Amino acid sequence: MRNLRELNFDILRGLAIAIMVAAHLADHLLRGPQPTWFVFLGALAAPLFIFLAGMMVALSFVYKNYPFSYYLKRGLVIFGIAVLVDIAIWQAYPLVSFDVLYLIAVSIPLTYLFLRLNLSLQMVVIAGLFFATPFLQNMFITDFSPSIVGDASVQGEYTGALAHFFLGGWFPIFPWLPVAFLGALLGTFHRRFFNDLPKGRSAIAFLSFFFISASSAYFLKDVIVEGNYFRDLMYIPSLVYITWALSSVGLLFILVQRAQLFFVGQALSLLGRVALFIYVFHLVIISYIFESFFSNRLSGIELTALYLTFVIFLIACAYGIFKIKERRSALANNRLFRALFGS
């Protein structure tokens, strides 16, 4: 039986997966522009993933006392999966696009080192990374076209890989690493957020996050260009977008803590427990099956029906993996199996 803390995290990871599946389906298959509200929704999945990755490192750091080598090995496994995703799914040169799995892989061991600092230094590191971002972007990024990042046809060499790692990739160190660090910082104080926060303070926190999120969204709406894709908000990531994303993540944390989600929460938690596998698996299905089968693209209603069917299928797959882990304890305790399919 998983405790409340673990269940809440599983639900949030499952929610991030469900949002990401919807965003990728719309990006690849929807005929016509996406609604503005959906653009904002799609732009929330990756920040939630990155924030939760930092939190999970913090919880392991506090409760399980793993050595640095554990986090380094886990990061290397995810890094290897990111390379395979680039080659097999995106058909691009690896180590260039710096997609979200690369960022999470790098952030895991770095977050462990971050947690060994005292609180004052942690705050300085987070603030420094965030506030350095716009200055570095203005200095070093003169042109940015997301359509060519990761495209093998325009990447004959790796001269831009380091620049993508720090600034120009899909999820560069600036400003995404401090998002993981913030998640880790919250993870060290998780009790007061998941167990001990009174209802009155929860309401105040909820309203504060809502105000910040709504205000940031107001300034971001003009960033969305014709075509309406979630990447319009995310690339190049501004501090206004990061502020919106973090405040929206805060709203989700409070909602999950207080809401009675019943079977929906249980279904999302199943996805969350095997989030890495579902992330890779859904990309394989979209890239190799759906894009060929639905080459003429789909209307909004058709895409919604496909999405609901696909999510139910993914939940069934997650449940199957859960039952395998229950019945095959030796397999479930294998480190590589746990890295791919969760603990």
80 token code pair: 């290897």
Q: Which residues pair with 30 in a beta bridge?
A: 298
What is the model's pTM?
A: 0.89
Print pLDDT tens along the chain (343 aa).
455 557 788 999 999 999 999 999 998 999 888 888 888 999 999 999 999 999 999 989 988 889 999 999 999 999 999 999 999 998 888 887 788 999 999 999 999 999 999 999 999 999 999 999 999 888 877 555 444 444 444 444 445 667 778 887 889 999 999 999 999 998 887 655 555 555 666 777 778 888 989 999 888 877 766 556 777 788 888 899 999 999 999 999 888 877 666 788 889 999 999 999 999 999 999 999 999 999 889 999 999 999 999 999 999 999 998 888 777 766 656 666 666 666 5
Query: How far is 105 from 339, CA to CA, in rounded Å?
Result: 12
Q: Which helix (H) or strand (E) holds 306?
A: helix 300-327
- 337 token code pair: 């199996």
Which tokens belong to 318? 């997650």
**Residue 269 near residue 18 (C-beta atoms within 8 A):** no
55 neighbors 186 (Cβ within 8 angstroms):
yes
Name which of 263, 301, 311 is nearest 18 in CA terms: 311
